[in-house]
Amino acid sequence: MPQNHHFPQHLQRHALHNEVHARPPEAMSAPLAISHVVMACDAAQRDASRAHVAALLGDHHLPQPDAHSTYIRMDLGAFRIRWEMHTEFVTWTFMRPLEVAGFGERDPATAIQVVPQEWLQALPGQCLTALHLWVLPTSVFGASSLVKHVLLEDTLVASTVADGHGEVYTDFAIHADSFSRMVLLAGGMTPRRLGRLVQRLLEIETYRMAALLGLPAAREASQVLAHAERELAELAQSIRSANRDQEPQLLDRLTRLAGKVESQYADTHSRFSASAAYFELVDKRIEDISESRLAGMQTIGEFMERRLTPARSTCEWATRRQDALSQRVSRVSNLLRTRVEIEQQLSSQALLTTMNRRQDLQLKLQSTVEGLSVAAITYYIVGLVGYLAKGAQKVGWPFSAESTTAVAIPLVAVAVWWSLRRVHHSIAGKVGSA
């Protein structure tokens, strides 16, 4: 009997483990009518979609989804519903059995016809994709009968899929009912394999439209980028001939341009990144269906390569153009800032040179003042000594006042000079230590 080991569990272990089982394909059997609707939604509309599907399930007395549900698959009797919530859109897939008799002779029945119409019209969001897919059990329905009432001959695309076990026909056109159309002729595929194939075909159409959301943004960005590139070229030319007084104004214009470019980059970067991811998913799903050519027909992969490549290139070019422009603006800004900084350093150096000259003059002036101070102080002290000598003669001082004054002059001058130097050095030392 195996032991039950109780290791400390990561909080997200079970959620991450179950992620590989999220949105699994379901087993399907032909004949089958499928209607697939993709609604572009914001956060509020995604929450409203969960409430909308809950209302439908409530009307059929079925269990309600919880507040965090992102996937629901349920049988409502007359039809099956598959609801999936994604980051930018919500998918609604309706399925019901199909009567094969007379399929190619008239407009075929659809799965959406049996869905409550009032409820259907209230789907939250904006319709991005709407597709009718009919899964037929055999290939007895030739392309001619399909084209007659179901698909348009002028834009017909077809190929064998699932390594030759099926044939898929579509025209990539929006018909009068606002739905695109696709027909899958399934041979001897198992229900599981058929379910996987159907899901990939639906995802090709879903991701194709989601990827193209980046095209209008790329076209709009191209106009903004063209104007910004012209303005940057003008600024670069102006910087070459600008004088010092014009540099602050140019730097301000360049800063504003950088802000404009970065703002536009922030607005579109996520859209272009999402489109690139969706384009890759389209490529992967086309690879997964393992298609090969039908005689005289264009394959889905060839159609996508020819028709999607320009849109993909436009989005990729807009992304590269944004990156290049942002780098150019940064380089020009750095050059202008460097130029301004160098001029500021030169100005600071000139100012320091002027201050040094002034300091030298101050030192010379200070030396002059110190010399005058020594003479003045000596003069007054010697005067006092003379008065003292005159008074001292009356009490017996042997020398005359004039002789005493003459002798005192050099002694007093040296003493005054030495005292002033002591004071000067003391003050200089305190300033240096501070």
- How far the first Cα of the chain sits from its last, in Å, is 83
Q: Quick one: pLDDT band at residue 67, thresholds 50, 70, 90?
A: confident
- Cβ(161)–Cβ(294) under 8 Å? no
Enter the DSSP assignment of 294. Answer: P
Which residue is associated with the tokens 């039908």?
294
Q: Specify if 15 maps to a domain.
A: no
What's the one-letter identity of residue 145? S
The reply to whether 367 falls in a domain is yes
Nearest to 218 by CA among 160, 287, 274, 146: 274
Are 329 and 361 in the same domain?
A: no
Q: Are residues 185 and 143 in the same domain?
A: yes
Q: What is the pLDDT of residues 335-355, one digit of tens each?
A: 767 666 666 676 777 777 777
In a domain, 26, yes or no: yes
Among 143, 166, 194, the domain boundary falls at 194
Which 3 state secondary structure label does DSSP give 220? helix
Judge residue 101's burial from the number of C-beta atoms within 10 Å of its C-beta, 0-12 exposed, 13-18 middle, 19 or more buried: exposed
User: The domain spanning residue 288 has which CATH number?
Assistant: 1.20.58
- CA 34 from centre of chain: 37
d(CA 390, CA 2): 127
- Nearest Cα to Cα of residue 162 among 180, 139, 145, 179: 139
Q: Are residues 143 and 27 in the same domain?
A: yes
Q: Summarize pLDDT for 100-142 with one digit per residue, the tens.
A: 876 777 778 899 999 999 999 999 999 999 999 999 887 656 6
- Edge-first strand order for the sheet with 180-186 is 71-75, 80-85, 89-97, 32-40, 126-136, 180-186, 166-170, 157-161, 292-293
For the chain, the domain total comes to 3
Q: Model confidence over 292-332: pLDDT tens digits? A: 998 888 999 999 988 888 999 999 888 888 888 888 887 77
CA distance 392 to 346: 67
| Structural domain for 337, as ranges | 214-349
Q: What is the pLDDT of residue 276?
A: 92
